[in-house]
A and B are shown apart, each in its own frame.
Chain A
Amino acid sequence: MKKEKAILIMDSKTIARSLIRIAHEILERNRGAKHLAIIGIKTRGAYLAERIANIIESIEKVKLPVGLMDINLYRDDVQSKKEQPVIQKTEISFDVVEKTIILVDDVLFTGRTIRAALDQIVDFGRPRSIQLAVLIDRGHRELPIRADYVGKSIPTSSDELVKVKIKEVDGEDNVSVIQDQKRKKRIKTGKQ
């Protein structure tokens, strides 16, 4: 058994409520669903993006275009990682030009994933604007990036791990914070 303590932060009900609120906020801020398109960052952000699109469809009766994106090829650390991340397919079947893109991810942490995603979207064309929606904002940003829509902000210390589980991938919906002893040790010895 690994020595780790998990504290439950969100269950399936609170996740569902947050996503409904985010969907409403998106519509409120953009005055409806015109020109909107959603892009989810793989793996879990992609499923959250689908869910937000479905909620918006039930409110506004419009089906927004949804794209899925793997950002690993745009990472700033591909050549320094021990093992190459597995590349999944990017599927953006609509034209991003002049769209308002809602970028969706599960956890906002250092901001590096989002930076990679922004670069990748711009390579597909020039959107009117890009807004960011995340389920969890855990702080510790290393880049000047902030979210426009946040499910829940949780203060964490850098030796903690935020674990988001999504039904489609993990069989259940919940978010927990885990005290990771191994990670704590790594940070102490200066190895990331």
Chain B
Amino acid sequence: MKLKSKDLLGLQGMSKQEIDLILDTAVSFKEILERPIRKVPTLRGLTVVNLFYEASTRTRISFELAEKRLSADLVNFSANTSSVQKGETLKDTVRNIEAMKIDMVVVRHSASGAPHFIANCVDSSVINAGDGAHEHPTQALLDLLTLREKYKSLKGLRVVIVGDILHSRVARSNIWGLSTMGAEVAVCGPPTLMPYEMEKMGVEVFFDLDKALEGRDVVMGLRIQLERQKGGLLPSLREYTNLFGITKDRLKRLNKNFTIMHPGPINRGIEITPEVADGPYSVILGQVTNGVAVRMAILYLLSGGEKKVE
């Protein structure tokens, strides 16, 4: 069993077998993080470039640690201190970096489809670390791993994703991933932050949070992307908090043994109250730990030698 593609661009179209392979591998890698020496020599000699055209804390550090734990060499690139400022195109930047002999590229970009474009320009493996409002596959995979650890199987699990669905790549990747794994997914948010024809992704759409929470096992809060709210899509943050904030009172509508998730960074007191974010049912920090293991699994699975045929 191996992954079909040399790249990890998204969860859309990825099979259940492939997702299971990644999650199973991640479970084994998680143990390495508990060892006295948290490092294995598996990817010695492999060079990974972390190409970040957009700000990131968790994802970038998580990828960096995953690379280091597997003994890969890594180079960090951030757009605002590079020749991108002088007008170099994405294609030129990537091809120049590849000419320096590298094996993998981890990309975060504000334009949807940027990693797909890069994958067509280079022979290296490309891993999508978030592209625009499209996909964030490693985040969804770590969410799947976290849920699978708690519930054993994702089949029939009732999940609701709450918040800014319109701008959220985490929501899209999770909808594809969760659906493939057999979970029942719903989305909930203000109409201005809900894409048209959202039902076509196979999810139930709610505009009333209390109704959406009824009988759910998992609530996934999304960050209100303050940097993308200049277009007047929300009357005020206070109104949003009143209507869509995840508060302790609202949690009683959920099934027993429920779980609260959030991909971070959290706007405390806006989309989720601190009380809920830090509650015993919250797995937010567990998600972060699993992130390193999932990214190690992906780096490992994509590093197979077959593509390096002369």
Also in contact, A123 and B305, with CB within 8 A (given A89-B27, A91-B31): no
Residue of A nearest to B27 (CB): A89
Residues of B within 8 A of A119 (CB): 41
User: Chain A 73-115, CB within 8 Å of chain B: the 1/0 string?
Assistant: 1110011111110111111000000000000000000000000
Q: Mark B110-123, 1 if CB is under 8 A from A, else 0.
A: 00000000000000
Report how far A87 CA is from B42 CA in the complex, Å: 11
Does the CB pair A73–B2 fall under 8 Å?
A: no
Q: Tell me whether A73 and B304 are in contact (CB under 8 A).
A: no
In the complex, chain B residues whose CB is within 8 Å of the CB of A82 = 304-306
Complex Cα spacing A8 to B43, Å: 40
Cβ proximity bits B29-45 to A, threshold 8 Å, 1 near / 0 not: 10110011101111101
Partner of A81, one of B21, B39, B304: B304
Q: Which residues of B contact A84 (CB under 8 A)?
A: 2, 300-301, 303-304
In the docked arrangement, what's the CA distance between A99 and B32, Å?
Answer: 21
Main SS class of interface, B: loop
List residues of chain A with CB within 8 A of the CB of B300. Answer: 73, 84, 87
Q: Is there an interface contact between B2 and A83, defined as CB atoms closer than 8 Å?
A: yes
Least Cβ distance of B28 to chain A in Å? Answer: 4
A125 at the interface (CB under 8 A from B): yes
A98 vs chain B, min Cβ distance (A) = 14
Is A70 on the interface with B (CB-CB < 8 A)? yes
Q: Which of B28, B36, B45 contacts A125 (CB 8 A)?
A: B36
Contacts of A86 in B (CB 8 A): 1, 21, 24-25
Per the 8 Å Cβ criterion, residues 43-97 of B in contact with A are 43, 45-46, 70
CB distance from B215 to the nearest CB of A (A): 35
Smallest CB gap from A79: residue in B: B305
- With both beta carbons as reference points, the residue of chain B lying nearest to A92 in the complex is identified as B35
* Given A81-B304, A86-B25, A123-B1 contact (CB < 8 Å): no
| Complex partner residue of B37 from A89, A91, A123, CB under 8 angstroms | A123
Question: Which of the residues A83, A87, A124 comes within 8 Å of B25, measured between beta carbons?
Answer: A87
Q: Say whether chain A's binding surface is mostly helix, strand, loop, or mixed.
A: loop
- Complex interface: chain B residues within 8 A of A125 (CB): 36
Partner of A73, one of B27, B36, B40, B305: B40
CA distance A123 to B42 in the complex (A): 13
B46 touches A123 (CB 8 A): no
Interface residues on A, range: 20 to 34
Contact digits for A112-128, partner B, Cβ 8 Å, 1 yes 0 no? 00000001100111000
Q: Contacting A88 at CB < 8 Å: which of B28, B39, B70, B301?
A: B28
User: In the complex, which residues of chain B have a beta carbon less than 8 angstroms from the beta carbon of A90?
Assistant: 28, 31-32
Known A73-B42, A84-B2; contact A124-B304, beta-carbon cutoff 8 A: no
CB contact between A89 and one of B31, B303, B306 (< 8 Å): that residue: B31
**Shortest Cβ distance from residue B162 to the other chain A in the assembled complex, whole angstroms:** 34
For the complex formed, measure the closest distance between the CB of B192 and the CB atoms of chain A, giving whole angstroms.
45
With CB as the reference atom, state the residue of chain A lying closest to B28.
A87
Residues of chain A within 8 A of B25, CB atoms compared: 86-87
- Mask, B279-310, CB within 8 Å of A = 1, is 00000000000000000000011011110000
Chain B residues within an 8 Å CB radius of A123: 35-37, 39-40
Name the one of B2, B35, B70, B303 contacting A124, with C-beta atoms under 8 angstroms: B35
Measured between alpha carbons, how far is A87 from B26 in the docked complex, in Å? Answer: 9
- CB contacts (< 8 Å) of B35 on chain A: these are 123-124
Q: Mark A52-69, 1 if CB is under 8 A from B, else 0.
A: 000000000000000000
Interface residues of B (CB under 8 A from A): 1-2, 21, 24-25, 27-29, 31-32, 35-37, 39-43, 45-46, 70, 300-301, 303-306
28 A-B residue pairs with Cβ-Cβ distance under 8 Å, sorted by A, are A70-B28, A73-B32, A73-B300, A74-B41, A74-B42, A75-B42, A78-B42, A79-B43, A81-B305, A82-B306, A83-B304, A83-B306, A84-B2, A84-B300, A84-B301, A87-B25, A87-B300, A88-B28, A89-B31, A90-B31, A119-B41, A120-B40, A123-B35, A123-B36, A123-B40, A124-B36, A124-B37, A125-B36
Q: Which 4 A-B pairs have the closest CB atoms?
A: A73-B40, A87-B28, A73-B42, A80-B305
